[in-house]
Amino acid sequence: VFDIDHFKPINDQYGHAAGDAVLRAMAAACRSAIRTEDLIGRIGGEEFAMVMPHTDQAAAFAIVERLREAVAETRIATGEGQTVSVTISIGLAQYGDQEVHRLLRDADRALYVAKDQGRNQIRYAEPVAIAATQ
């Protein structure tokens, strides 16, 4: 799961058209950074989910690091003669035998660790022990 850092101030300062331009530019950067088998979808606001099938942890990190760098290097015109750039924070979770909602929750938890630790970075989900209910 990844999220555009400090997206609201762009909308507030430059308007929603600039925010839309940021989303389009970020989508183009994403397409250039991922493999053909990877899938990215917007899950709300400025938050996105990415699925990387048959990918181990090291390869996943390399892919999302390439994605993080591609987004950070992108310059977006605001329509007012200025440009802005954005960064993304990323939470990685590996699918095991958990349900999909737990996988997303784990990735989201890691995303917020990345944001809390300064943004523009990748964090892995910590395995969470779930007590069995009887």
Rounded to an integer, what distance in angstroms lies between the CA atom of residue 42 and that of residue 3?
A: 10
Residue 2, φ and ψ in degrees, nearest 5: -140, 160
Q: What is the largest CA-CA distance in the chain?
A: 62
Of residues 37, 46, 69, 73, which has the active-site annotation? 46
Known catalytic residue: 46? yes
Rounded to an integer, what distance in angstroms lies between the CA atom of residue 103 and that of residue 86?
A: 26
- CA–CA distance from 94 to each of 15, 16, 31, 47, 80 (Å)? 37, 34, 22, 18, 42
Active site residue ranges: 46
